[in-house]
Amino acid sequence: DGGITQSPKYLFRKEGQNVTLSCEQNLNHDAMYWYRQDPGQGLRLIYYSQIVNDFQKGDIAEGYSVSREKKESFPLTVTSAQKNPTAFYLCASSRVGIGTEAFFGQGTRLTVV
Amino acid sequence: AQSVTQPDIHITVSEGASLELRCNYSYGATPYLFWYVQSPGQGLQLLLKYFSGDTLVQGIKGFEAEFKRSQSSFNLRKPSVHWSDAAEYFCAVGAGNAGNMLTFGGGTRLMVKP
């Protein structure tokens, strides 16, 4: 089945540690996105990529980093510089084109302990 | 920059009753509008989308939405709510460029009373 796979579903991190969230898609989409979700705030864009080896910052990129070495993969690293990393993280992908819909993974819940 | 407002954070309706979730957007050009639904701890599923043409859009699970340019609104409706519709609903507007970065509203949590 085509889709987007995020792993792990739950992740615990100690303060001061970096952690990487995985996102893989087999939809042959060129564009991929990372969103952060906090209660009552909707989804906020962290980073996006429209093509391999290229990505741009979204609205809340500070404390995060990404890479796009393969079309299928767009991992997100939450660094120790992110002051409040506990959140639900959603990865999405879409075709590149005006108004194309985004398809979402099942999310990763990150908790800092 | 575009923005989306969902004025109602929580809504409770009785099963079988009609539903309307409000969405107002701000965007300088022709908007590309979406409604997504999210069950607890899950990703988002597309309910319907509006690009152009008929302003009344039909979606999955019996939902529909109406685009009203004069009111900058894209409200979601369902004539008869089922208990399984309890979830969080997000309205989003897409940027009219080569990518499709979505700007989301804050969401409306729907609860359904038996």
Q: Do A104 and B100 touch (CB under 8 A)?
A: no
> Which positions in chain A touch B57 (Cβ < 8 Å)?
none
Does A86 score more than 90 pLDDT?
yes
Whether residue B10 is predicted with pLDDT greater than 80 in this model: the reply is yes
Contact at CB, A40 and B32, closer than 8 angstroms: no
Section A70-88 average pLDDT: 94
Give counts: helices (H), strands (E), chain B: 0, 12
How far apart CA B22 and CA A71 sit, in angstroms, is 37
B39 interfaces chain A, CB cutoff of 8 Å: no
Chain A residues whose beta carbon lies within 8 Å of the beta carbon of residue B41: 88, 107, 109
Where do the H-state alpha helices sit in chain A?
A: none
Structure tokens at B110: 């729907």
Residue B40 has a pLDDT of 87
User: Which residue is associated with the tokens 């004539």?
Assistant: B79
User: B41-79: per-residue pLDDT in tens?
Assistant: 889 999 999 988 889 999 999 999 999 999 999 999 999
Per-residue pLDDT of B100-111, as tens digits, reads: 678 899 999 999
Q: Is the peptide bond before B40 cis (omega within 30 degrees of 0)?
A: no
Calculate the CA A46 to chain-centre distance: 7
Binary contact (A105, B43; C-beta < 8 A): yes
What's the token pair of residue B105?
A: 């509203």
* Residue A56 CB neighbour total at 10 angstroms: 13
